[in-house]
Chain A
Amino acid sequence: MAHTDSAKAAVPYYLKEAQMIKQGAEARVYRSTFLGRSVIIKERFPKLYRHPEVDEKLTRRRTTQEVRSILRCRRAGISAPVVYFVDYATHCIFLQDVINSVSVRDHIRSQPDGLQTLAERIGEVLAQMHDEDVIHGDLTTSNMLLTSGEQQQDFNLVLIDFGLSYISALPEDKGVDLYVLEKAFLSTHPKTEALFQRLLKSYSNASKKSTAVIKKLDEVRMRGRKRSMVG
């Protein structure tokens, strides 16, 4: 069997051949083949500006939170990429590559009409997710994918990038999750206030705990940046 030193090189060596599709502050994302399937690899690389012990603990925690949230969502019937393998030594997550999909962001930009059903569906899925006490943490239209179903009008909504997600039952956290989406939605897609309202309505109808969450959302809106804290 190979020497331990070269063993540590297995994943990094493999990543050299992979195609890097994005580099963020937290992680690098690659696409490659793994066990005969197309996969996305999310590598949380070491942050040299951090204290090494802190970095290791923090990175490991983020990786496990991400993986846990994905599993929790799937168990509840919310589409999220399948986790194929997690390397806790290099903090790499090997995920299913959702092929033949388009991000909700691109879809809305290319087809600004007939989005009512989509908005309702997003509201439903988020309600389900929050009812499972999963906070996504980075809800944007770029982190939602659309894949086609069996019929032409059918579509499946897949949530991705659970990198900032965590488990929480607090309405405040869920409210903030929705607030993040609202800000991202309205800034990316101009003049869609009515569409987002529809999304929220669908969320309220679908979620059992929505009243408290919407109340918190209203409170958070009042709190946000450049807002007066008077009253």
Chain B
Amino acid sequence: MYLTQDLELFPEYTVTQLLFKDVKNATELRKMAVNGEIKGALINPSMVVDAFQILVATNKAVHLHKIGKMKTRSLYSEIIFNLSPTNNISEAFKRFGISDSDTAVHIVLVHNKEEPLNIDDIISKVDGQQIDVGQVSEFTDTAKIKKLYKITPQEEKCGSLLDAVVCRMATKDVA
């Protein structure tokens, strides 16, 4: 149901992704993420093309966290910031974080392999139905993503939408 993957560069960590639909308590969840009750990044699934995109953002966030060069204040806000094509932090939260009216939530957790992760605890906090992370494409708003990332029609010839998004995420600092 949930997707757990390793980061080859940071073998001490594991990344877990969860996806929920028909979520009724988005407002509560957002508050819990902000006050630290939920130690994870809550992302708007309409901006997610594939779980790989999340992994790339997470990898960069963990890297910057380790060398003390994050642009935002926490690892989880950094993940959300990395997804955005711009360097404006509040804009990143607005577009990629969840809002009170959202009914679907994509949750990303990063945890040390040595500390056991209580997934059920997180799941119980969400008033919604958990679905397979692979189904995130059902929520993907391709038009919105193309517009926000300013993806040209020619670009789609030489790669997939995921390629275009990931490339921009990785090169944002120098573009």
- Closest Cβ of chain A to B85, distance in Å, is 11
- Chain B residue with Cβ nearest A11: B9
Contact B166 A82 (CB under 8 A): yes
| Chain A CB within 8 A of B68 CB | yes
- Given A10-B63, A34-B8, A35-B55, are A75 and B170 neighbors across the interface (CB < 8 Å)? no
CB distance from A221 to the nearest CB of B (A): 32
Q: Are B171 and A83 in contact (CB under 8 A)?
A: yes
- Interface centre among A1, A11, A32, A78, by most B CB within 10 Å? A1
Nearest-neighbour CB distance to chain A for B158, whole angstroms, equals 4
User: Chain B residues with Cβ under 8 A from A32's Cβ?
Assistant: 8
Q: Is A152 an interface residue (CB 8 A)?
A: no
Are B66's CB and A7's CB within 8 A?
A: yes
Contact B158 A86, beta carbon cutoff 8 Å: no
Interface presence of A74 (CB below 8 A) = yes
Residue of chain B at shortest CB distance from A39: B8
Q: Which residues of B contact A82 (CB under 8 A)?
A: 159, 163, 166-167
- The CA-CA distance from A67 to B172 in the complex, in Å, is 10
**How many residues of chain B have a CB within 8 Å of chain A?**
33
Check A19 for interface membership: any CB of B closer than 8 A. Answer: no
B75 vs chain A, min Cβ distance (A): 9
Most buried by B among A10, A33, A87: A10
Q: Is the CB of A78 within 8 A of B158?
A: yes
Q: Are B167 and A83 in contact (CB under 8 A)?
A: yes
For residue B106, CB closer than 8 A to chain A, the reply is no
- List chain B residues, Cβ under 8 A from A94: 170
CB contacts (< 8 Å) of B9 on chain A: these are: 10-11, 14, 34
B155 in contact with A75 (CB, 8 Å): yes
The answer to whether B117 has its CB under 8 Å from any CB of chain A is no
Q: Which of B10, B12, B158 has the most CB of A within 10 A?
A: B158
A45 within 8 Å of B (CB atoms): no
Q: Does A46 touch B at the CB level, under 8 Å?
A: no
Distance A200 CA – B112 CA, assembled complex (angstroms)? 56
Q: Which of A1-44 contact B (CB under 8 A)?
A: 1-2, 4, 7-8, 10-11, 14, 32-37
B147, chain A: closest CB distance, angstroms: 15
- Measured CB to CB, the nearest residue on chain A to B7 is A35
Q: With A35-B55, A86-B174 given, can you name 7 additional A-B contacts, CB distance below 8 Å? A: A1-B66, A4-B66, A36-B52, A70-B167, A75-B155, A76-B152, A86-B171
Which residues of A are at the interface with B, using a C-beta cutoff of 8 A? 1-2, 4, 7-8, 10-11, 14, 32-37, 64, 67-68, 70-71, 74-80, 82-89, 94, 96, 156
